[in-house]
């Protein structure tokens, strides 16, 4: 439903053609939000679709607060490094690139000029950024991939934990947002006998210390020395030396509240600016 450009539904697949056309014609600066994630192992306790489930929840919430249209064009992402763990589904980078380019191109064909791209899986990042670069010039559209906030107390705490404990995959941070967004899919009882599963060398683990004076140097050596496959890094599928049972829905809610507020502020300010000449038809 859309009346004078105001949407009551925000997923593109739930809109009728007249509703989409009304929004496109009457919304002063139409924005389409594209989210991608993954279907891949997430340790013992989180669902295989954690990244895609999370990004879908996030972009829909942002769309509903900004009168934007959102789309989650695919469930899998680029995850070949997780394929030793059952349940993982991966696209090739070429397939993912085509999905992103075709999605942007379709909306651009209908006149959309502003896109927000949201990626919830690190393995997608290089393809994601290349798609943004290529689509901007090919389709003459503006594309943003906002990231933030980084300066709140909670954001600083989480960044410190990510540096100190490699808390990037299936650890307390991801567990917190999963318990906030889809607690019914989390099987926390499977983590009752949790043990640190990292198989990194002692020398590399000593580089996971943000208090070191040479942290800027050694942290880059750490990632340069990272094994290419998940089984080179962890026995249990978790990229973190911290206990996932420390995750909680309250932290997840606070994290996502800050992220949603930041994204809404970004979109509203962006929409207030006139379309630059380079993107006009």
Domain boundaries along the sequence of the chain = 2-149+255-279
Q: Average pLDDT of 50-62?
A: 98
Instruction: For residue 38, give the DSSP letter.
Output: -
CA angle 239, 214, 125 (to 5 degrees): 40
Residue 55 to residues 23, 128, 202, 240, 250, Cα–Cα distance (Å): 23, 14, 35, 21, 18
209-262 pLDDT, tens digit each: 999 999 999 999 999 998 899 999 999 999 999 999 999 999 999 999 999 999
Percent of the chain with pLDDT strictly greater than 90: 96
User: What pLDDT, on a 0 to 100 scale, did the predictor assign at position 110?
Assistant: 97
Q: Which fold has domain 2-149+255-279?
A: Rossmann fold (3.40.50)
Query: Is the Cα dihedral 24, 26, 27, 29 positive or negative?
Result: positive
Q: Average pLDDT of 90-102?
A: 98
Q: Average pLDDT of 124-129?
A: 98
Is the pTM for the entire model greater than 0.85? yes
């Amino acid at each position: 439903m859309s009346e004078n450009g105001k949407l009551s539904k925000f997923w593109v697949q739930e809109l009728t053609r007249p509703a989409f056309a009304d929004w496109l014609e009457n919304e002063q600066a139409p924005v389409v939000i594209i989210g991608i994630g993954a279907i891949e192992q997430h340790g013992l306790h989180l669902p295989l679709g954690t990244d895609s489930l999370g990004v879908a929840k996030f972009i829909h919430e942002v769309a509903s607060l900004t009168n934007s249209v959102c789309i989650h064009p695919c469930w899998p992402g680029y995850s070949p490094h997780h394929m030793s763990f059952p349940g993982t589904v991966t696209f090739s980078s070429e397939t993912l690139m085509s999905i992103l380019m075709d999605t942007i191109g379709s909306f651009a064909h209908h006149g959309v000029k502003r896109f927000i791209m949201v990626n919830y899986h690190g393995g997608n990042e290089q393809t994601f950024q290349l798609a943004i670069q290529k689509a901007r010039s090919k389709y003459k559209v503006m594309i943003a991939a906002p990231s933030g906030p980084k300066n709140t107390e909670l954001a600083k705490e989480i960044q410190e934990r990510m540096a100190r404990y490699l808390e990037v995959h299936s650890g307390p941070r991801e567990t917190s947002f999963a318990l906030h967004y889809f607690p019914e899919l989390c099987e926390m009882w499977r983590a009752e006998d949790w043990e640190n599963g990292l198989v990194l060398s002692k020398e590399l683990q000593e580089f996971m210390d943000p208090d070191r004076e040479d942290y800027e140097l050694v942290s880059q050596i750490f990632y340069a020395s990272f094994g290419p496959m998940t089984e080179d890094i962890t026995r249990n599928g978790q990229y973190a030396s911290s206990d996932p049972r420390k995750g909680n829905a309250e932290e997840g809610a606070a994290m996502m509240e800050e992220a949603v507020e930041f994204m809404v502020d970004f979109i509203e300010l962006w929409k207030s600016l006139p379309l630059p000449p380079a993107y006009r038809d």
